[in-house]
Amino acid sequence: MKTSRLRIGSRGSDLALWQARWVESEIRRVTPGCDVTIDVIRTKGDRVLDSPLSKIGDRGLFTREIEEALLGERIDCAVHSLKDLPTDLPPGLCLGATCRRENVSDVFIPHPDNPHRRLLDQKQGAEVATGSLRRRSQILARRPDMRIIDIRGNLNTRMNKLRESDWAGMILAYAGVSRLGWEESIGEIIPVDVILPAVGQGAIALEIRSGDTRAASIVRALDDPSTASAVEAERALLRTLEGGCQVPLGAFARIEKQGEEEVLLIDAMVASLDGRLVVRGRTHGVPSGAREAGVALAQTLLAGGADRILREIRELG
């Protein structure tokens, strides 16, 4: 006899379905007998592939249609890559769980014929593909000679485009590459002091309806408190800066043991589009004060020049 039911909503890419099936498997493991189904939903970000993300808007680009299905009670739980989820959720929705985070780093995927495996070892004027302004600005801050190629599409599409190109390589998130079993294609796991990740990168978010105690009780078992605190700090920073995933902003929060105490550390940066101006900062706090730490670091960045960078970027938009 089935004890409960959970209808999951997911995008249809291989990576999104991997994440949804992982959630399905974990729920079945922790809630034996739960009837779990997956409903594939196409989002605007899946349909519009011929324009850069920065040109078509990014708020809810990969989440809105799934959230509409959630509000309409077509599904009970939306599975997202947390980095795609806007910091302000629609009324009536909330985060039910933040799953344990994968390695947050970006990776350099060299062209199969490229003998240079590391990003910063590429030849003068090398072409590197990415769809992210965050990555673009940080690459150019280190290597202003490089030519950045804009790329869209799911991971399979991007890998095919790389093989058919004469680019030196491209940048992807380690989490997606690893989850699809493509680790052998990685030339370098890029250190976070070279490229800071996107807010929430590597984490899977489970979004539910506010007040849905049945769904909340099912997904709660998948919540990882350390990951939840870290991404709460990052999302508070992003919300304070009023940026989206297409603002050159990177952040990495984590909880570390210092003696007998747990300390929340946060690094963040905001950069100009050409990488010539980079404002970086770091702060620390306690895990229970994650939101306050994120806000404080955002204010430090703004005071250090990030306000001018963000204003200029918005004016260009």
The CA–CA distances, whole Å, from 139 to 4, 134, 143, 163, 190 equal 48, 9, 6, 21, 11
Cβ-proximal residues to 190 (8 Å cutoff; 6+ apart), any chain: 105, 106, 107, 108, 119, 171
In angstroms, rounded to a whole number, what is the distance separating the alpha carbons of residues 56 and 183?
Answer: 31
User: Three-state SS string across the chain, please?
Assistant: CCCEEEEEEECCCHHHHHHHHHHHHHHHHHCCCEEEEEEECCCHHHHCCCCCHHHHCCCCCCCHHHHHHHHCCCCCEEEEEHHHCCCCCCCCEEEEEECCCCCCCEEEEECCCCCCCCHHHCCCCCEEECCCHHHHHHHHHHCCCCEEECCCCCHHHHHHHHHCCCCCEEEEEHHHHHHCCCHHHCCEECCCCCCCCCCCCCCEEEEEECCCHHHHHHHHHHCCHHHHHHHHHHHHHHHHHCCCCCCCEEEEEEEEEECCEEEEEEEEEEECCCCCCEEEEEEEECHHHHHHHHHHHHHHHHHHHHHHHHHHHHHHC
Q: Could you say which of 14, 35, 39, 84 is catalytic? A: 84
84 belongs to the catalytic site? yes
Residues with a known catalytic role: 84
